Chains A and B, each alone.
Chain A
């Protein structure tokens, strides 16, 4: 079990590799799940639109990695009175995961703090994971040195799941709760509802709750009732 350092940002147990549907991001998932085996410093940058599973992957990797690990959501960290100070005082770890670079970069002081952390991880021979919504080449950075170092990390785009993968995931999640969602119901759902995975999973929770409470099967009429299609 990893020794997690920051209790302020605890790891979410439900975010595991087992519960992640890789879709077309299988290579990134494979790299992350075998990260601990690589010797010395290794850095990976995951990027992609919101709600495609980047945070899920960071949590899953941290939970699988041995040694001292740390997960820091940078957007949340910005609410701290001294965000740079928190980052600067971060001691080198076996694995450090920094979520959501978009909010952190393009600020000289914050970038300097990040550069220090990067260099400390390199010197320590630890692993570094970062995520962003924008592509690495599109991220604005004030420190060219930091930019070139970060862009030289292995970059993987986490793609949104296709409909086939989404259906499989929704069916699996429903099955975990003892419910079945037929293909035609899912076709109806995906052709009318929000196709953002995070929203779909929220909706599924809601639908499952109602189905269990009312002892009903998940059908198109139930979806219409619950989701107001």
Chain B
């Protein structure tokens, strides 16, 4: 078994960490060994040889040991012919464990490739990448400035984020975006990260949710690896931390984050933060953090106005290759005002319904697809609620609904209410009869039959039924 000098079994370590959602510890072990190997090669080789052949190599922790990746076949052949034996020897020496186990030859693989950040973090001989880089930057590639819909509510945030993306660490640092949920703060934050990486592919950009930061820190405390934890965060070029309000009342996390924050700012490394409120309003956050958070630029992202909501819907539909009439987009946008997230959720639901029913997206189709969301969604369908709605609709008194009066102006609404109660609730017919002034279940059956008959023969009753169904059940 290949072990580190401190006796940690890297394979087992990797498995353990994968189980808690992180694998950079195994990588860190491999990278440490590799770095030592590089140091010795640099001493042994001429700078020309080292820079030409060794510097472009990358390494990652593979399932069976170490994988060395050459940028092309030419370099690979040269390495195999002239340097591989020496590299393996050095790796074996540097990875020798206390129990004498060592890295075997077949645990070192040489191949052509270029590390994708999503698989493992590279360690280049030039120091870019590195042992403390996480295996994933966690950026969402579809959150870009191009896919962000600008409007009055967010134009300042957009402008500031764009500035930060092209002048990382130099313009506004930290950039803090705050505002309600689902308004696009996280989108802008990812857009900054993606743009920085696009401008400088070797930049170490990391997105982390504050809860994840806290969890990683707790794990590091439990494992006694706080130094690695701190080194990792100090090595980042741009750190994007989402929802900093979650640091509230977590004193140890605040202390660590304070140190990370200071370290990154001292080196002009960019930080982008989001928060659901102005930082000074967060209870349980240390004053020194509150003041530092607003050192750079603090921008509020506001709920989008109607035109922006419509533009968001149109853009989202276009991305999904769905034809959305602007009139329909306005219809949805006027009714769902809460936030972008719920707006997009509503559109997904509309599209799914259109695909399921084979209908084109239209206002009536949207009404059907989103009836849960529109207006009546939170009302519980109950017999008293049905009675109240029907009484209001026909402009009669609730007392009449329950009375023994049999005039048509009273009896017809009562029959309609009984029918709706049968259709929209699971109450038994005797229960429905009871709820209407202690009537027999046969009366309910008669009422239901009557309304079914009238729906087929009398357009007005049919329309009343449709309207009342919508009012009661959405």
Contacts and interface: CB of A to CB of B under 8 A. Distances in A.
A168 B135 CA distance: 55
A177 interface: no
A148 interface: yes
Interface in B331-356: 338-339, 341-342, 344-345, 348-349, 352-353, 356
A148 B348 contact: no
Interface string B168-201: 0000000000001110000000000000000000
Contacts of A112: 211
A92 to B, nearest CB: 7
A155 B349 contact: yes
A85 interface: no
B150 interface: no
A6 interface: no
Contact of A192 (B339, B378, B379, B428): B428
B428 A149 contact: no
Contacts of A195: 426-429
A191 B441 contact: yes
Given A116-B211, A152-B342, A92 B352 contact: no
Contacts of A197: 426
B318 interface: no
Interface in A136-195: 136-138, 144-145, 147-149, 151-157, 160, 162, 190-195
Interface residues of A, number: 42
Contacts of A120: 21
A65 B278 CA distance: 43
A119 B181 contact: no
B327 interface: no
Contacts of B302: none
Contact of B349 (A144, A149, A154): A154
B428 A145 contact: no
Interface of A: 26-27, 30-31, 47, 49, 51, 91-92, 112, 115-116, 119-120, 123, 134-138, 144-145, 147-149, 151-157, 160, 162, 190-197
26 contacts: A27-B352, A27-B353, A27-B357, A49-B426, A51-B426, A91-B19, A91-B21, A116-B211, A119-B211, A136-B372, A137-B372, A137-B373, A145-B182, A148-B341, A148-B342, A149-B181, A151-B341, A151-B345, A152-B182, A155-B345, A155-B349, A156-B372, A160-B426, A191-B441, A195-B428, A196-B426
